[in-house]
Structures are given as C-alpha cells and as structure tokens.
C-alpha cells in the first residue's frame, strides 16, 4: 500500500540549532514528494516539492529536503531554527495521481 | 489572485442538522478534493472530483456527500452530522496531468454537538 511515515510526532530544538524532520515513503514507483507547514490556527503552506528533477530541493524560509531513493527518504532540514518555525509539518506523497497521501505530522517546538 | 475559498470558516451545529460547506476555486482546475484533519492522523481524503459531474470516494467517505455541477465549486454535504465528524476540513484543487502544486483552502473548523 502507498504510504508515508513521519518518524517523529514531536521535535524540540533550541533557536539557532539545526532542524531535522524525518520522512520515509513506500516505494511503489516514482513519487512526487512535498513538505507542507501549518502554523497554529492557519491553513497549509507548501514548503517545497520534489518531482524527479534535482534530488536536493530548496524551499521557502531556508528549508531544504533531499530525496534519497535508496533509503526511500525525504527528510526536511534547516541549518538554524527560528522561533517562527514552530509549527506542524506534514510530509506528503503522490504516486502519479492527483491524490495526496499525508503523513501524520511532526510538531516542531523551538525554544529560545 | 489564485485561491481556494471555503465557507463557513467556523461552524457549531447539533447532531442530525444537515449542513453544507462550500468550496470554490478561481483557477479553472479540473481536480478538487476534500480532506479532514484530526490530531495524530494527518489529513485524510474524503471525496474527490476529477471534473464536472465526476466524483469518487476517498479514504473516509462515510457520512459525507459531494456534488460537482460547476467546475469552480465543490460543496461538501453532511446530511446528518454526528459528533465524530467534528474536525478541521480542507478543500483543495489542482490542474490534472501536471506536477502542479495543490492549492488548499483556509480550512473549516466544524464542531458537532
């Protein structure tokens, strides 16, 4: 079955330290992969997407993600966290259809 | 401005009282869908529509209906709401066939008492 797994439900970091949010997907065939962010009481905002071009994808707000086919992973990283990065992050996969399959989300807390 | 709009944004209702949440997009997209978001479960697809008069069930369709009479509108209908349909609902649209981004509406928070 097609699925996506976010390995951590909560991640806490100090401001200025690196962020790593982990995501693995099931490998049926070439997926499109996305990261969305949802700030408290807000809608969904696209951070970045991978659609079979460069494996390292740069997104907004300093985030980037690397597609690793051998590991079926698409982890989200940022070199230095800001307080405003505190939000819920969703890893999302699409397999040659228009349907999006969402992970269960990772809540990022950033401490001063 | 390209956007997906939903109304109402917040709704409190009682069990069994029919309600409709509207969704409209101004991008001439063919594909639209509805998701519900629940804590710890992410977003799950309720129904989707690949074009006018073409709709199909997603992963959690029970208790919901949809219609697609016009390309821009895709209302979600709860004929007899129950408390387990208390959730945050998102409408989304995308142009089929490409690798375009899905556009999401701002969400509708529903509480069924």
pLDDT (0 to 100) of residue A30: 74
Q: What percent of chain A has pLDDT over 90?
A: 68
pLDDT tens track for A11-37: 999 999 999 999 999 866 778 899 999
d(C-alpha A66, C-alpha B100), whole Å: 19
Who wins on pLDDT, A43 or B52? Answer: B52
Instruction: Tell me the shortest Cα–Cα distance from A54 to chain B, in angstroms.
Output: 14
Instruction: Tell me the shortest Cα–Cα distance from A112 to chain B, in angstroms.
Output: 26
DSSP lists the bridge partners of residue A12 as A109
Structure tokens at A5: 């797994």
Residues from chain B that touch A9, judged by Cβ atoms under 8 A, are: 40
Task: Answer yes or no: are the C-beta atoms of B76 and B85 closer than 8 Å.
Answer: no
Answer whether A43 sits within 8 Å of B96, measured CB to CB: no
The chain-wide mean pLDDT, for chain A, equals 90
Closest to B48 (Cα-Cα) out of B26, B64, B63: B64
At which residue do the structure tokens 């086919």 appear?
A: A69
Which residues numbered 22-41 in B keep a CB inside 8 Å of some CB on A?
31, 33, 35, 40-41
pLDDT (0 to 100) of residue B99: 58
d(C-alpha A109, C-alpha A81), whole Å: 10
Answer whether A100 sits within 8 Å of B102, measured CB to CB: yes
Residue B69 has pLDDT above 70, yes or no: yes
Nearest chain B residue to A88 by CA: give it. Answer: B42
Within a 13 Å sphere around the CA of B49, how many CA atoms are in the beta-carbon half?
26
Task: Answer yes or no: are the C-beta atoms of A75 and A22 closer than 8 Å.
Answer: yes
**Residue range A60-66: average pLDDT?**
95
**B73: which DSSP letter?**
B
A52-56, A71-75, B109-113 — which is least confidently predicted?
A52-56
Q: CB-based contact (8 Å) between B99 and chain A?
A: yes
Backbone angles phi, psi at A28, to 5 degrees: -85, -60
pLDDT tens track for A38-60: 998 888 899 999 877 788 999 99
């Amino acid at each position: 079955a097609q699925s996506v797994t976010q390995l951590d439900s909560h991640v806490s970091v100090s401001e200025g330290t690196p962020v790593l949010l982990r995501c693995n997907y099931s490998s049926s065939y070439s997926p499109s992969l996305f990261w969305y962010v949802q700030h408290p009481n807000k809608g969904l905002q696209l951070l970045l997407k991978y659609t079979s071009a460069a494996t390292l994808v740069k997104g907004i707000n300093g985030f980037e993600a690397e597609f690793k086919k051998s590991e079926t992973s698409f982890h989200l990283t940022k070199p230095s966290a800001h307080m405003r990065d505190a939000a819920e992050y969703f890893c999302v996969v699409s397999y040659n259809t228009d349907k999006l399959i969402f992970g269960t989300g990772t809540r990022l807390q950033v401490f001063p | 401005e390209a956007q997906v709009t939903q109304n109402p944004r917040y709704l409190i209702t009682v069990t069994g009282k029919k309600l409709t949440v509207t969704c409209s997009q101004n991008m001439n997209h063919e594909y639209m869908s509805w998701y519900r978001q629940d804590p710890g479960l992410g977003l799950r697809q309720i129904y989707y529509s690949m074009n006018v008069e073409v709709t199909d069930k997603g992963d959690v369709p029970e208790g919901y209906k949809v219609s697609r009479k016009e390309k821009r509108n895709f209302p979600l209908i709860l004929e007899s709401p129950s408390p387990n349909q208390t959730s945050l609902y998102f409408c989304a649209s995308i142009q089929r066939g490409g690798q375009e981004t899905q556009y999401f509406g701002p969400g509708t928070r529903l509480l069924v008492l």
